[in-house]
Structure formats: structure tokens, C-alpha cells
Amino acid sequence: MLPTENPTSSPLSDSPKFHQSNLDSIISSLVTFLDSPSFSISSSFDRVLDNLLSSCDVSVQDQLVDRTLERLSLLLQSTKRCSQKLATLHNSISWFLPSELTVMVFLMVDTKSLMQASTCCTMFNKCAMDPLCYSHIDLTKAFKLADDRVLHTLLNRSGKQLRSLKLGRVDAPGSLFRSSCLPPLIHYRNSASRSLKLDRDAPSPGYFFTRSCLDPLKLTGNLLTSLHIYFLGFMNMDSLLDSLSACSNLTDLKIVGVNVLLEPILELLARKCCLIEHLFLDNCNQGMITYPTIKLFVTNCLKITSLTLLDFRLNDAMAQILVTGFRILKYINLSNTAGITGSFLRDLGHRSNDSPLQTLILRDCFSLQEREVVEFLNSLIAGNVRSIRYIDVSSNNGLACDGDRRTSKPNFTLEKLKEERLDITFVADFPSIRPSY
């Protein structure tokens, strides 16, 4: 029989007869007694409280009400906590992998899906915060909301594990637009909340990354091996160069739709990122390039196997250094280089066996001469450049001939080439030249 309380007397718990076990039994009874059709709980609560309140002084009534509310609030919170613990336990039974192995699974999930998973339950959230999960950060699939702050957060989470990073928008509509140096204005959402401050670090119109968004790489970039940047518009060159100089282990660099200047980038790679193997730069800003820099690049970056430089101000002499200077270069793409006539191909054509080059792409090179290509083909037919497998000289403007003429039906001896060098795929598409005006 439980001692009942007289609301006007001193608190029950002061009585020497009231132990913790009594309190426990009260709580236990409240929670465990079963519903029954003989009495309604809600009207019982009403009745008891009414009785208690009516039988005590006004001064005590408020106390009683407050105390009841407080106790029941505590009971509610406690119930929720216990319920959460049960849910956590249930989860650990449904998903019984230990956290190290859960992290290995999360490693294979792309960054965006990983964020979705992290809001599923506390266990997933904890595993999703492991730095290993952020070794390959790809923000290109969520370009609409990714900004500096997001990048910063993810880079922080990656700790020392960052190995590859991709940002920007891969398929920006302007990607087909070759000669413009301004990124197209793309309006995503109403960015009124991101007020465009007119200072050096303001985001380029339509993009949420600022000009120095890669600054955090100065701290975390030293084990980064791959960096792809797409259409971030105007970047602060100093900031970009500083960030890149911290990435001494970079092997794969791709920059498209950003105002890179070739000269400082090549110089930086030659001095700080000598392990580079794949370089892809799609130009958005014409800039001057010097021979010393190209030579330094070729001398220092011995591991280059693939090189793509689109729409830069290179001439034949520079192209020659690039095509023949690297020891293990397999792939080169110098499309949209208006300054080359193809005379550099002579040197390439005279090398019999020592060039490892497999792919040569010179699409839309306006000044590329028909006779240079013909001479090159002849040296291939004669058996030179044994390693080459794929050549592309297609152009929307045909090839240049003597004087100012152009041809869309050049004099290529393709049958002979097929005969002698079946291993070579030669692509030369020249849609009919439209008359220029």
C-alpha cells in the first residue's frame, strides 16, 4: 500500500520511510498498468487532479500544477530518449557491420548520396564523418548549391585523406562556344541572399564559388592527386597558383572554362608539381607563353603521358618541343591552336622508333597546312612513328593550302596508308567550307 500524499503537508520524500525504491515503484506503476474497459485513464486523470486542486489552498494550487507539468515533461523526455536508444539498437541489428567496414562501403558512395545517408540515423552520420569518406569529393553533380562554405566543410572533413576533387559544372551550355573568354551568365536560383558584394572576392555572376575558393587546398592539398575544375569563371590567379603549389603530389589536372594563363600554370607545374601525368587545359583567356617556360615544363615534368592544350597561343616551334620533348607522352591534343601550320610534324615524322606517341589530335587548327599533313602521312607510310595509333585533323574550315586557298578535300593517300599502316586510325572530317564574308 503506497503512502498517499496530503498536499498540505511536507513533501513525502522528506519522510524517513520514502526510499528511491518507492519512487521507482510509483513510476513503474504509472507506466505499466494496463488499460481496462472498466475505467478511462483520461477521465481518471481529470478526476484526481480536480480533487487534489479543489482540496488545497490557492497558494498551493499553482505549485501543484507546475510540479505536475514538470514531472510529466521529464517523463516525456525520458521516454523519447529511451525510444531513441531502442531505435539505435534496432539499427545496429539491421545493419550489423562494424563502423570500419561501414566506412569502406561509404567510400564507394558519391559525396551527394553520402550526405543523404548521413541524415538517416546516428550510426550513419558518425560513419559518414570519417575522413576516408571524403577522399574523393565530387561537387559537379550538385553545382546548384555547392559553394565556398560547402567546399570548406567537406575539405575540413577530409583531413589528410583528400585525394581527388572535382568542382564546377561539367556540361555548362557555353562549352560549345570556343572563342569567348567570358563564361556564360547562367542564372540558377534567386541569389538575392548571396548579395554580390563588389569586392575582389565576389562570386562571378551565376556561380557560387568565389575567386579564391580553392584557398583551403593550401592546407589539405599535399596528398591530392587529381583536381578537375569546370566553368568557375574568373578565378583569382594568385590564389589559384598558391593553392596548386601546395599540391605537390598532383598527377591529374584539368581546368575548363576558367581564365587560366598558360605561362604561370606551366611554370608552377614545372617547379612544384613535377609528378603531373595528365594535363588538360581548355583556355578561356589568351595569354603570352615563352619558350623558356615551355622548355622548363618539358624538362621538369618527366611523367607527362597525356597533354591537352586547347585554344592557346602556341606556334610550331612550341608544338615541336611539346610533342617530342616528353619521354613517355602517349596522348596529345592541341586542337583549336590557330598558330600552328603543322611544320612541327616534320620532326615527328622523321623519328623512327623512339617516340611513344599513340594519339595525335589537331582538330580545328585553322592554319594547319594540307602539305604538312600529306608529308607526315608519307613518313607514316614509310614506317616512321611506329607507336602512333590515332590521328585526327578534322576541321570545320578545311585545311590551308598555298596562298589563301583552303580545301575541304585534301590530297590524302588514304588507301596507301591503310595498306602500309593498318594499325592507324586516321580521322579527317571536313564539312564543306561555308563562304566567308
Partner 1 sequence: MSSKMIVLMSSDGQSFEVEEAVAIQSQTIAHMVEDDCVADGIPLANVESKILVKVIEYCKKYHVDEANPISEEDLNKWDEKFMDLEQSTIFELILAANYLNIKSLFDLTCQTVADMIKGKTPEEIRSTFNIENDFTPEEEEAVRKENQWAFE
SS3 per-residue string spanning 39-104: ECHHHHHHHHHHHHHHCCCHHHHHHHHHHHHHHHHHHHHHHHHHHHHHHHHHHHHHCCCCHHHHHH
Do residues 137 and 158 make contact, with C-beta atoms less than 8 angstroms apart? yes
* Region binding partner 1 by CB under 8 A among candidate stretches 106-114, 212-220, 318-326, 329-337: 106-114
Contact between 73 and partner 1 by CB under 8 A: the answer reads: no
- Site map 36..55 versus partner 1, x via CB under 8 A: --------------------
DSSP assigned state of 36: B
4, 10, 43, 94: residue in contact with partner 1 (rule CB under 8 A)? 94
Report CA dihedral (227, 231, 233, 239) to the nearest 10 degrees. 0
101, 196, 302, 317: residue in contact with partner 1 (rule CB under 8 A)? 101
Which is closer to partner 1, CB of 213 or CB of 298?
213
117, 132, 275, 381: residue in contact with partner 1 (rule CB under 8 A)? 117
Contact between 76 and partner 1 by CB under 8 A: the answer reads: no
H or E segment at 24? helix 20-32
Rounded alpha-carbon distances, angstroms, from residue 307 to 175, 329, 334, 364 = 19, 8, 8, 17
DSSP assigned state of 432: P
Contact between 113 and partner 1 by CB under 8 A: the answer reads: yes
Nearest Cα residue to 360 out of 325, 397, 385:
385
Contact between 230 and partner 1 by CB under 8 A: the answer reads: no
Contact between 171 and partner 1 by CB under 8 A: the answer reads: no
112, 152, 200, 405: residue in contact with partner 1 (rule CB under 8 A)? 112
Contact between 115 and partner 1 by CB under 8 A: the answer reads: yes
State the minimum distance, in angstroms, from the CB of residue 111 to partner 1. Answer: 8
- Sign of the C-alpha dihedral, residues 340, 341, 345, 346? negative
For residue 305, give the C-alpha cell.
603521358
* Region binding partner 1 by CB under 8 A among candidate stretches 42-50, 80-88, 368-376, 429-437: 80-88
For residues 350-382, one letter each, b for 16 or more C-beta atoms within 10 angstroms of the residue's C-beta and e for the rest, the string is: ebeeebebbbbbbbbbbbbbbbbbebbbebbbe
44, 55, 99, 116: residue in contact with partner 1 (rule CB under 8 A)? 116
The identity of residue 210, as a single letter, is T
Footprint (CB under 8 A) of partner 1, residues 119-158: 119-122, 124-125, 142, 144-147, 150, 153
* Region binding partner 1 by CB under 8 A among candidate stretches 84-92, 269-277, 294-302, 303-311: 84-92
Which is closer to partner 1, CB of 168 or CB of 342?
168
